[in-house]
Chain A
Amino acid sequence: MNHTIADVAVPTARSKITLRNKWSVSEASFRRILYLAGLSLLILIVAIFFSLVVASLPALRQFGFGFLTGKTWDPVRGEFGALAFLVGTLMSSFMALLISMVFSLPVSIFLGEYFRHGNASTFLKSVIELLAGIPSVIYGFWGLFFLVPLVRALEVKIGVAPLGVGIFTSSLVLAVMILPYASSIGTEVISLVPSDLKEAAFSLGATRFEVIRKVILPYASSGIFAGILLALGRALGETMAVTMVIGNSNFLPKSIFSPGNTMASVIANEFTEATGNLYLASLIELALVLFIVTMIINILGKLIIHKMSARK
Chain B
Amino acid sequence: MQGMAEISIHRRIWADRLFKGLIILLSLCSIVPMFLILFLIVKNGISVIDWEFLTHLPKPIGETGGGIANAILGTLWLIVLSFVFSVPLGVFAGIYLSEYRGDKLAYLTRLAIEILQGIPSIVIGIIAYVWVVMPMGSFSALSGGVALGIMMLPVVVMATEETLKLIPDSLREASLALGVSFPRTIMKVILPAGLSGILSGILLGVARVAGETAPLLFTAFGSPFMNYNILKPINSLPLTIFNYATSPYPDWHTLAWGASFVLIAFVLGLNLITKSVTKKWKVQF
Using a CB–CB cutoff of 8 Å, the interface residues on chain A facing chain B are 22-27, 30-31, 33-35, 37-42, 44-45, 48, 51-52, 55, 102-104, 106-107, 109-110, 114, 124, 127-131, 133-142, 144-146, 176, 179, 183, 207-210, 212, 230, 233, 236-240, 244, 264, 267-268, 271-272, 283-284, 287, 290-291, 294-295, 297-299, 302
B273 within 8 A of A: no
Cα–Cα distance between A83 and B106 once the two chains are bound (Å): 39
Q: Range of interface residues on chain B?
A: 35 or more
Which of B19, B30, B114 is the one whose CB lies under 8 Å from A212? B19
Cα–Cα distance between A302 and B112 once the two chains are bound (Å): 12
Residues of B within 8 A of A41 (CB): 89, 93, 109, 112-113, 116, 153, 157
B178 within 8 A of A: no
22 A-B pairs with C-beta separation under 8 A: A23-B181, A38-B100, A52-B130, A106-B22, A133-B211, A135-B263, A135-B267, A136-B212, A137-B242, A138-B41, A138-B211, A139-B37, A142-B36, A146-B36, A207-B15, A239-B120, A264-B120, A268-B217, A287-B123, A291-B119, A291-B123, A298-B115
B238 within 8 A of A: yes
Q: Is the Cβ of B126 less than 8 Å from the Cβ of A271?
A: yes
Q: Is the Cβ of A106 less than 8 Å from the Cβ of B26?
A: yes
B241 within 8 A of A: yes
Residues of A within 8 A of B241 (CB): 137-138, 141
Which of B99, B123, B211, B241 is the most central at the interface, judged by chain A CB atoms within 10 Å of its CB? B123
CB distance from B88 to the nearest CB of A (A): 9
Q: Is the Cβ of A114 less than 8 Å from the Cβ of B20?
A: yes
Chain A residue with minimal CB distance to B211?
A135
B245 within 8 A of A: yes
A110-B24, A129-B271, A209-B19 are known contacts. Are A244 and B245 too (CB-CB below 8 A)? yes
CB distance from B115 to the nearest CB of A (A): 5
Q: CB within 8 Å of A: which of B155-178? A: 157
Q: Is the Cβ of B34 less than 8 Å from the Cβ of A137?
A: no
Which of B40, B153, B212, B217 is the one whose CB lies under 8 Å from A146? B40
CB distance from B139 to the nearest CB of A (A): 9
16 additional contacts (CB under 8 A) given A22-B187, A110-B27: A30-B183, A34-B92, A48-B119, A51-B127, A106-B22, A106-B23, A124-B31, A133-B211, A138-B211, A138-B264, A141-B245, A141-B256, A239-B120, A264-B214, A287-B126, A295-B119
Residues of B within 8 A of A210 (CB): 12, 16
A44-B112, A45-B116, A146-B36 are known contacts. Are A37 and B271 too (CB-CB below 8 A)? no
Q: Is the Cβ of B23 less than 8 Å from the Cβ of A110?
A: yes
B213 within 8 A of A: yes
| Contact indicator per residue, chain B 77-111, by CB within 8 Å of chain A (1) or not (0) | 00000000000010011011101100101101101
Residues of B within 8 A of A141 (CB): 241, 245, 256, 260
Cα–Cα distance between A22 and B187 once the two chains are bound (Å): 10
Using a CB–CB cutoff of 8 Å, the interface residues on chain B facing chain A are 12-13, 15-16, 19-20, 22-24, 26-27, 29-31, 33-34, 36-37, 40-41, 89, 92-93, 95-97, 99-100, 103, 105-106, 108-109, 111-123, 126-127, 129-131, 150, 153, 157, 181-184, 186-188, 207, 210-214, 217-218, 221, 238, 241-242, 245-246, 253, 256, 260, 263-264, 267-268, 271
Q: Is the Cβ of B260 less than 8 Å from the Cβ of A138?
A: yes
Q: Is the Cβ of A38 less than 8 Å from the Cβ of B268?
A: no
Q: Is the Cβ of A44 less than 8 Å from the Cβ of B20?
A: no
Cα–Cα distance between A52 and B130 once the two chains are bound (Å): 8
Q: Is the Cβ of A240 less than 8 Å from the Cβ of B126?
A: no
Which of A109, A133, A136, A140 is the most central at the interface, judged by chain B CB atoms within 10 Å of its CB? A133
CB distance from A83 to the nearest CB of B (A): 19
Residues of A within 8 A of B256 (CB): 141
Q: Is the Cβ of A209 less than 8 Å from the Cβ of B16?
A: yes
Q: Is the Cβ of A290 less than 8 Å from the Cβ of B123?
A: yes
A106-B23, A291-B123 are known contacts. Are A134 and B31 too (CB-CB below 8 A)? no
CB distance from B265 to the nearest CB of A (A): 11
Q: Is the Cβ of B95 less than 8 Å from the Cβ of A295?
A: no
Q: Is the Cβ of B213 less than 8 Å from the Cβ of A287?
A: no
Cα–Cα distance between A42 and B154 once the two chains are bound (Å): 12
Cα–Cα distance between A271 and B127 once the two chains are bound (Å): 13
Cα–Cα distance between A202 and B135 once the two chains are bound (Å): 66
